Structure 1
C-alpha cells in the first residue's frame, strides 16, 4: 500500500492541527481497502478537547464540521467507570461537547481519548482483518508484527471495548507500541505527528498485504454463464415482499464471486461472520443461498434468520425485517439487494470486499470471523433498537 501523504500539500496545515486531521483522514478514506462507507474513525487532541469523527460522516469526504469536539477529561473519566450502557455513553458524550450543533461523537471516542497521542487513526483494513479472520489469526498477527504490536481479542465496539483496553494498558508504555490490532475488527495507529500516524497505518497494512500476496492466489478467469433475468426478477420480487419496499439488484459476477459461489462448503462458510463487525448492520449476518429454486432458498433464509433471532433475543428485542441484503447464487456469483441504487451499491462494495477476504482466508486455513451471537449483539445493538421503539 502506497502512502498518499504529500508534504507540499500538508505544509499549509502545519499550524492547524484540525485541518491536518481532515487531510490525513481523507487520505485514509480514499482507499476502500482501508475503510468502506462510513467505516473507521480518526481524532486529534487539541488542548483539553478531543476532536473525533462524528456520526454520519465518511472519512473520504470529512471536513472540520464532521469532527465532534468533546471534553477530553470527561471521556477519560468515563473509561474509569465500571459500567456504562452505550445509550448513556452517547448521552454523556454529547453533554461533554463544546459545540452542541456538532454531530454525535463516534462510539469509539472514549478509546481515542485514552490513547495518549495527539493523532489517532482507526481503519478496518481488509488485509489485516483477513488475517485475523483465520483459525490461527492471533498467533499469525503476533508473529508477523512482533511484540510492539498490541493484539486485542474481539470485544464489541463501544464502552466495553474502551474499558477493556483501558484496563489492559494501565501498565503498558504506549510509546513502545507501533499500533494495535483488534481481532476481527481493525487497526489503530497513533502518534503526535499526523504524517507518522498515517504512515504507520500504511506500513502495518502493507505487511499484511505482502503476506497475503505471497501465499494467496485469487481467481481471474471470467465465466461465460450468467444468472438469467428471470431468476434475478424472482429474487428481487421475493426480497421486496419481505422488506416491504422496492428492491434494486446489483449482480456481482466477478471471478472472485463466481469462485465463492462454487465452493463445496459454501453454506458453512457464509455463516462464519463478516469482514468487520459493523458490516452486519448493513448486510445482516449471512446471505440467502440460492441453489435451483429461489422460493426455496428464500424460505430457508427466513427460517434461519428467525432461528438466529430466537436463539439470541431477549424479550426487549424487536425483530428486524426478514429480507436478505444479498444473495449467493450457487455457481453464478452474488447479488446485492438494496432498497435503492445507493444502498445496493454500498452492499455490493461490502460484499465484494468480503468475498475477497473469504477466498484469501480459505487458503490460510479457513474463514472465521464473529460468532452468530457476536453478530447478533452488533445487529441488535441497543442504539439501533432504540430507533425502532420511537
Structure 2
C-alpha cells in the first residue's frame, strides 16, 4: 500500500514504493532480513518532452521525492542551472534553481525553488574565511537572489552551485546511507562502483562540504557521484533525464549489493522477542500510550503507533540493546527523532513506577548530553522528553507537538532502522560522534529556523472525541477544534455519513489529524473500542464533546416505555458511558475538558416532550455531578444548551420537525424556523457553528477556571435562564 507523508495541513501526496516490504505486519519467512526496495525509473518522456526547463526540474524533483526508496519526506534537494533573462539588463544569465529551505521535493511546486545568479553565488567564495566561519556564508545568499524570489535558500545550496554540472541531485536513500554509516562503507563503495563514485568524509552540510565535493570532482572527472559519509548521495549529469536515471541507478546498485549481503540471514543478530499478534499489539499500544503521554512534561504531545515489519524486526532483535543507544546517523533522521530512542522492557509495561522512572531517566540523560556538549553561545536546552519509544514485541511509539511531526518521526526512525540493517550487513553501524550530533541539533541555523516557525495554535497537542460527529453540531464542533490545532476523533453510528464527513474534514485539515469510528453511545463495548482508537491513533483524550442525540415529541399518554427508555439510553446513559470512558484516560493525562450538549428543554419545560426534556435534564445534572468528581484531577465538565438549531441538524430533518410544528400548531416548513426566530429575545437563528463556538470556549484554556457551568446558545429565552 502507498505510504503517506504530510506537508503542513494539506492532504498528503501518495508516496511511491516499488516493493511492498514496509507494510507487512508479521515477521518474514524464517526471520530472514527484510530486503531493501529497489527503485525503478518512472520517467515518462512523453510528459517530460513538453515541459519548460524549470518545469522539467520540478518534474524530476517530484518523481524523486515521491519515491520512498530515494529520499525521506522533506529530505534532499535538486537543482538545475538554467538560462534566464535578467530583468535588470535584458541579458541572458545563468541562474541556479535549487530547492529552497524547508521544502519537500516530492510535493513542492515551482515556488519551492530558490533562484540565484550563479556568477554572484560563485563569487562569494572570495569572501569565505574557512570552516570556522562557514555559517556566515548563509547571510550572503540573499544578496545573490534572482528576480526578487522570496524563497529562502537551503544550507545545501553550495553543494549544487559550486559543481560544474547543469543538473545535480542530492538525496537520502536508506540503501546509500547504510553504506555511508558503516565501518566498511568506503570499501563497499569501491567494490560496487570502482572509481565512478567517490567517498567524501563526514562534514555537516554547508559551504565547506560544497568545496570538498567540488574539489573531489575536479580531481576525479570520471565520477558519476559521491557518497557523503553519514549523510547520503550526491550525483550529477548535464541533462535532466540523465541525472534522474543516474540517481535511480546508483541507489538500485546499493540496494542490490546490500540485499546480496542480507540474503538468507536474519538481521540485527536474529529475533530475541517474538512479535505479538496484531490485535494484541494494538491493545497494548492503546493502554500504554496515554500512560506514557501523561509522563511527558511541557506542552501536550500527540502520539503515533507503528508496528510495521521493519519496526518489529528491529525492536524484537538481539542487537536492539546495542544499536539503539548509538542513535541515528543521518542529520535528517535525528533532527526528527532526537539522537537516540527510549527502549522499554515489554515485561514491565503495566508497572507505572517503572515507566515513570524510565522517562525520567531519559530526560536526565538528555540533560547530561546537553551539559557535556553545549557551549556558552549555544541555544538553551530544548524539550528533553523522548520522541521515539521502542517496545520489543509491540512496535514503536513516537510523540511530538502534533500528529504529522509524530508520524514523520516514526517514518524517519524507520529509515534509521533500514540504515542500521544495511550497515551491519557489511560491517559495524556507526552513528555520528556525540559532539557532531549536538552541533547539528543545536546549530544556530536550525535554531533560527525554529524561531521563524509560527506559534502553535491554541489547541495544538490536544485530542478531542466528538460523539454524534456526523451531525450538524458535532461536525461544526469538529471543524472548530481542528481549525485551532486539535486532533479529532469523530464518533457516530451513521457509518456512510460518518465516512463522508471524515473525508470532508481530512480534505480541509489533513489526513493526519482526523480519525473516525462507528459507535453507538448506548453500547459500552463500542465506546471502549472508540476510546482505544483515540488512544492508539493520537495518544489519549483531552476533550470529550458528548453530542450524540435523538429527539422525540409525544403527549404523555402516547409516550411508550420504549420511547422513554430510548431517550434516556442515548441522552442520559450515553453521556454517562462516554464520560465514564473518558475519565480514566484524562486522569492519566493530568486533566481534560468534557462538554455536554444539553438543551434549552433541559431547563425549561416543553409541551409534549417529557421523555426528551427530562432526559436532557438528567444529563445536565450528571454534568454537575461529574464536575465535582473531576475537579481534583483537573477534569472540567461544562454544558452548552442550544435551542432550535434547525439548519444543518439531522434531528430536525426527521419526525421531530413535524412533531414540534404540530405541538405549536404551525407549518413544519419555513414557518417553523420563523416561529423559533421570533420567539427568541434576540430574534436571531441559532446555527451549529454558534454552538460550536461555545463548545470551543469551554474546551479551551480560555475557560480554564470554569467547571460545572452552563452556556445557553438559544438567542435568548427567559425560561431557560439558569437560576
Distance 1:340 1:230 in 2: 20
Q: 1:40 aligns with which of 60, 76, 79?
A: 76
1:274 aligns with 2:328: yes
Contact map agreement 1:79 1:166 (CA 8 A) in 2: no
Distance 2:198 2:414 in 1: 29
Q: Which has the higher contact order (CA 8 A, sep 6+)?
A: 1
Residues 249-260 of structure 1 aligned to structure 2 (within 5 Å)? 249-260=303-314
Q: 1:9 aligns with which of 36, 47, 52?
A: 47
Question: For 1:139-168, what per-residue CA distance to the aligned partner results, in whole angstroms no more than 9, with x for missing partners?
Answer: 111221111212101100012212333444
Relative distance call for 1:323 and 1:238 in structure 2 (3 A) is: same
The structure with the largest alpha-carbon Rg is: 2
Contact map agreement 1:126 1:357 (CA 8 A) in 2: yes
Q: Secondary structure at the match of 1:363?
A: helix
Question: For 1:96-143, what per-residue CA distance to the aligned partner results, in whole angstroms no more than 9, with x for missing partners?
Answer: 102334211111111201111111111001111112222211111122
Residues 48-87 of structure 1 aligned to structure 2 (within 5 Å)? 48-80=94-126, 81-83=128-130, 85-87=133-135
Question: For 1:154-209, what per-residue CA distance to the aligned partner results, in whole angstroms no more than 9, with x for missing partners?
Answer: 1000122123334444x4253x1111111111111111110000000111001111
Question: For 1:56-92, what per-residue CA distance to the aligned partner results, in whole angstroms no more than 9, with x for missing partners?
Answer: 2210122221111112122223345233745432221
Distance 1:168 1:132 in 2: 17
- Tell me the residue number matched to 1:135: 183
- Tell me the residue number matched to 1:340: 402
TM-score, length basis structure 1: 0.91
Distance 1:288 1:99 in 2: 48
Residues 307-326 of structure 1 aligned to structure 2 (within 5 Å)? 307-317=368-378, 318-326=380-388
Q: Secondary structure at the match of 1:12?
A: coil
Contact map agreement 1:86 1:383 (CA 8 A) in 2: no
TM-score, length basis structure 2: 0.51
1:193 aligns with 2:239: yes
- Tell me the residue number matched to 2:58: 22
Distance 2:187 2:307 in 1: 34
Contact map agreement 2:275 2:316 (CA 8 A) in 1: no
Question: For 1:237-283, what per-residue CA distance to the aligned partner results, in whole angstroms no more than 9, with x for missing partners?
Answer: 222x2xx2222211222232223223344343123242521222211
Relative distance call for 1:372 and 1:282 in structure 2 (3 A) is: same
Distance 1:327 1:79 in 2: 44
Runs (5+) with no aligned partner, structure 1: none
- Tell me the residue number matched to 1:232: 289
- Tell me the residue number matched to 2:200: 152
- Tell me the residue number matched to 2:443: 381
- Tell me the residue number matched to 2:546: none
Question: For 1:350-370, what per-residue CA distance to the aligned partner results, in whole angstroms no more than 9, with x for missing partners?
Answer: 122222322333333332231
Contact map agreement 1:3 1:199 (CA 8 A) in 2: yes
Distance 1:197 1:361 in 2: 26
Which stretch shows the higher mean deviation, 19-28 or 59-68? 59-68
Runs (5+) with no aligned partner, structure 2: 1-38, 84-93, 349-353, 453-723
Q: How many residues align?
A: 383
Q: Secondary structure at the match of 1:278?
A: helix
Which stretch shows the higher mean deviation, 227-236 or 304-313? 227-236
What's the Cα RMSD here?
2.2
